[in-house]
Amino acid sequence: MEKDVGRLGERVTYKTLEEPEQKIFDGKPFPLIITPSDDEQFVDSTDVNEWLKEKKEDLKDLLLKYAAILFRGFPVDAPVHFDKFVRSLGFDAFPYIGGAAPRNVVVGDVFTTNEAPPDKLIAFHHEVSQAPKSPETIFFYCDVPAKENGQTGIVLSNVVYREMKKREPDFVAELEEKGVHYIRVLPDGDDNNSAIGRGWQSTYLVTEKHEAEERAREQGTTFSWLPDGSMKTTTMLLPAMRVDKRTNKMMWFNAIDDAYRAYDDARNIPEESVCFGDGKYMEADKMDVMKDVLESNAVDYMWRHGDVIMIDNIQVLHARRPFEHPRKVYAWMCI
Ligand code: FE2
């Protein structure tokens, strides 16, 4: 049952819905769902953009408080509207260097989310947490919902950290002390059959091997070239948790679940795609606990046409559920 719980000016209402669309953590709904008030519909996307410009500081405050905001019921009917939606909030695009997913530009700074086949698993991760710099805010927009499933799962990193610390304190201490490396073989050219099929050329936005080497070195990544022209990379030592300096809360800031479960293709072995800082691989029983913690706290909302979700990439991990075509969900990543 829907309930109105607040308003942002005259035009917009906060709703709480029942699961699976939303859950309550520490007394707050996650994600916050906002929608036009019944008596204040928006006429078109330009009208929405004017309103966003006016309310952008309020919306950023709400994002910090709630970690994710789902905008539902607004006239955002095409990727070009989505591009302007994000720009109206004053964000700048994050250069997608070092990420794993094969993506295409649709319009402006709108990307396809991941060109990988619908049955490929994309497990929980913070966007680009396997590189030293990550986007702070990310947006997804649904143009066409999947015929079946295709939810985006989201989970609060601080909740994951707290539960992991309760259930596996020694594992958390080891992670905290040693940090992690991610290991990935990048194909020569994009492989759209793999969820991590971004070739070394598009991973580093280059055409020549020596340029890829330079970019890798800039990120502290070590590498070797394999006989088929692919590039095996090991990231610099990265923390598996971070303190969110804005709130002083500890975040489970990593892509361990995704690497361990989903870095699976002709070139990569998932269980060997992430290791502790000393080279030791993760233990399967610990990975099962982590999966349980992530899944039991996740919210899987069903996409509707026109939905836009704004996610604080420091506070929230996300995942893509398998689906049946057609599904068109686009992304925008912000510095
Ligand atoms: Fe992602």
**Amino acid of residue 118:** P
**Distance between CA atoms of 265 and 191, rounded to whole angstroms?**
10
288 CA distance to ligand 1 middle (Å): 21
58 CA distance to ligand 1 middle (Å): 26
Mean pLDDT of 77-102: 90
The confidence score (pLDDT) of residue 1 equals 47
pLDDT band at 2 (very low <50, low <70, confident <90, very high): low
Question: Read out DSSP for 52-77?
Answer: HHHHHHHHHHHHHHHSEEEE-SS---
| Surrounding residues of ion ligand 1, Cβ less than 5 A | 127
65 CA distance to ligand 1 middle (Å): 22
**Distance between CA atoms of 191 and 194, rounded to whole angstroms?**
6
262 pLDDT more than 60: yes
Task: Compute the radius of gyration of the chain from its Cα atoms.
Answer: 20
CA 12 to chain centre: 26
Strand partners of residue 242 = 251
97 pLDDT more than 80: no
**Distance between CA atoms of 80 and 28, rounded to whole angstroms?**
32
Give the tens place of pLDDT for each residue, 277-317: 999 999 999 999 999 999 999 999 889 999 999 999 999 99
186 CA distance to ligand 1 middle (Å): 17
The confidence score (pLDDT) of residue 92 equals 94
**Distance between CA atoms of 42 and 48, rounded to whole angstroms?**
6
**Distance between CA atoms of 120 and 222, rounded to whole angstroms?**
27
Sign of CA dihedral 135, 136, 141, 146: positive
125 CA distance to ligand 1 middle (Å): 7
* Lowest mean pLDDT across 7-11, 28-32, 107-111: 7-11
Closest by CA position to 40, among listed 14, 12, 59: 12
11 CA distance to ligand 1 middle (Å): 31
188 CA distance to ligand 1 middle (Å): 22
Mean pLDDT of 94-104: 78
141 CA distance to ligand 1 middle (Å): 13
**Distance between CA atoms of 284 and 282, rounded to whole angstroms?**
6
168 CA distance to ligand 1 middle (Å): 26
The confidence score (pLDDT) of residue 18 equals 60
117 pLDDT more than 60: yes
Task: Give me 200's structure tokens.
Answer: 């070394």
280 CA distance to ligand 1 middle (Å): 26
Give the tens place of pLDDT for each residue, 118-146: 888 889 999 988 888 899 999 999 999 99
Mean pLDDT of 239-245: 96
41 CA distance to ligand 1 middle (Å): 32
Give the tens place of pLDDT for each residue, 50-85: 999 999 999 999 999 999 999 999 999 999 999 999
Closest by CA position to 71, among listed 59, 79, 58: 59
Strand partners of residue 223 = 233
If you average pLDDT over each of 16-30, 37-51, 81-95, which comes out highest?
A: 81-95
Give the tens place of pLDDT for each residue, 155-214: 999 999 999 999 999 999 999 999 999 999 999 999 988 889 999 999 999 999 999 999
Compute φ and ψ for 51, nearest 5 degrees.
-65, -40
- Report the half-sphere exposure of 128 (CA within 13 A, side-chain side): 25
CA 91 to chain centre: 17
Closest by CA position to 203, among listed 103, 330, 329, 93: 103
Closest by CA position to 276, among listed 295, 294, 293, 260: 260
Closest by CA position to 219, among listed 176, 186, 178: 186
99 CA distance to ligand 1 middle (Å): 9
Mean pLDDT of the chain: 92
CA 97 to chain centre: 15
DSSP 173: H
